[in-house]
Amino acid sequence: MTTTNEPPTRPSRRGHVGGDTTAAHAPGVGDAPGSTPVGAEGEAARAARVEAFRREIAELRVRDPATGRDRLLGRVGIGLMAAGLLLALGSYFVSHNTTNPLQQRDAIVAALGGLAGCVVGAALFLRASLAAFLRFWLARLSYEAQIQTDRVIEHLER
């Protein structure tokens, strides 16, 4: 029995032991601990988790009242952006096609009002879009936390 002072070999970042690069490496396999399996088994497991998540959401039977309001705000925002842009462009052409300074100033004020409406419409549209995205993100975060909790429980039960 011979002993050496060499440290034991550890898997490298790519999953190879001892720096041996002759073995083929499939992408996604062994890259990170807890990574999702690749292949038909991984797709089946993912589909089962999604179905379980949908069943749990359906069991809650909670209506989302904000969805209709967000859709309305998004549509109002798009309408305000379009109307504000049309008002600003129309007022610009009115102010340049007249020599009356009073009418020009009125057109300039109307154009600024149109631009303000455009900004308010963009803010409403952005608010509605971000609300929808963050709602999805929160559901995804909740789902991932549930999966992580299930993994911890499964590990502790072993």
Q: What pLDDT sits at residue 3?
A: 52
- Residue 158: which H helix or E strand, with range? none
Whole-angstrom Cα distance, residue 158 to residue 156? 5
Cβ atoms of residues 58 and 50 within 8 Å: no
Q: What pLDDT sits at residue 134?
A: 84
Reading the chain (158 residues) residue by residue, the pLDDT tens digits are 455 554 444 444 444 444 444 444 444 444 444 444 456 776 787 788 778 877 777 776 655 656 788 889 999 999 999 999 999 999 999 999 999 999 999 999 999 999 999 999 999 999 998 888 888 788 788 888 888 888 888 888 88
Per-residue buried b or exposed e for 75-99, using 16+ beta carbons within 10 Å of the residue's own CB = eebeebbeebeebbeebeebbeeee
Q: Residue 128: which residues within 8 A CB-CB, separation 6 or more? A: 70, 71, 73, 74, 77
